[in-house]
Structure 1
Amino acid sequence: MLLTFEVIAEALRERIRSGELKPGDALPTQAVLMAEYGASSLSVQKAMALLKQDGYAISRPGKGAFVAHPDADADTDADTDTDGDPGDEETGNTPVGGTAARVEALELALAETLDQLTALRARVEALEAGGTERGC
């Protein structure tokens, strides 16, 4: 049985594969996905991280998440326009997909792991402090 974030990610992948969502299209917002799937914000964030990791989506800071171009890769010279700058900011054709999406997904996963480690450390310290007070 799939977890909620996997269900959301697979549904969005299917919408992309079917052509309902095309490269460059905005993906539904976190609020929309939370309402549509009755999911928590963490589940939606994990789904988006999975899509980014798999190269289906990319975030544009301050603008949201978008469907990645399947052949785009931030490391290629094809992403550079005639003035040597990546993309074309005047027309909004910022390169998406590939390496940048994978890095962003890994950064999110690392942040979540650090949060979990911090919480675990706090629990261990609380248990150790409680054991010391009992004279163990």
Structure 2
Amino acid sequence: MTTRRGRRPAGGGVQLTFEVIAETLREQIHSGGLKPGDALPTQNALMREFGASSLTVQKAMVLLKQDGWVVSRPGKGAFVAHHDQVDADDLDHREVTAPAGGTTARVEALEQALAEAVEQLAELRARIAVLEAVNDEPGR
């Protein structure tokens, strides 16, 4: 049987590499090895650990972000999302595949982006004030 690269064979239960990476990170989060707010391993570290390409690691991260497990902070990396507390009884059941607070994680990511934008605006306003002060000096 011939399969195209990146395609799962019909009826195959074998996970693709990006699914394995995502599942491994989910398990680390689920078990408490990675806690809310912790930085995830870098793309290069995951590439080395799983013998995967950068695209494969990126696909795993997209999957984790879509499911609310991870948030990205531009220029800083990927972090375990903060989410609502899942009942302890639910943690014992394997059907729990995504955090209860996927929406909460997305809201937190948006709040973080907004906070960073506000910080950048404050820095720009400060620069403008300095430039205006220099231009208003006598003799200019």
Amino acid at match of 2:66: Q
Q: Give me the identity figure in percent.
A: 67
What is the rounded CA distance, in whole Å, between the counterparts of 2:61 and 2:105 in structure 1?
18
SS in 1 for 2:56: helix
The answer to whether residue 41 in structure 2 is matched with residue 9 in structure 1 is: no
Structure 1 spans left out of the alignment, 5+ residues: 91-136
Structure exhibiting the larger radius of gyration computed from Cα positions? 2
Higher relative contact order (CA 8 A, sep 6+): 1
Distance change (3 Å), C-alpha of 1:73 and 1:14: closer
Q: How does 1:96-111 map to 2 (within 5 A)?
A: none
What is the match of residue 51 of structure 1? 64
1:73 Cα deviation after fit: 4.5
1:33 correspondence with 2:53:
no
Kindly tell me: are residues 20 and 39 of structure 1, through their superposed partners in 2, closer, same or farther at Cα, counting changes over 3 Å? same
CA displacement 1:55-92 (0-9 Å, x = unmatched) = 0001000100000011334558xx69xxxx759x99xx
Q: Distance in 1 between matches of 2:24 and 2:44?
A: 16
CA distance in 2, matches of 1:40, 1:53: 20
- Match of residue 82, structure 2, among 61, 69, 72: 69
Moved over 6 A (4+): none
The total of aligned residue pairs comes to 83
Unaligned runs of at least 5 residues, structure 2: 1-13, 85-103, 120-140
Q: Distance in 1 between matches of 2:46 and 2:61?
A: 10
Name the Cα RMSD after superposition: 2.5
SS in 2 for 1:59: strand
Give the Cα–Cα distance (whole angstroms) in 1 for the partners of residues 67 and 106 of structure 2: 14
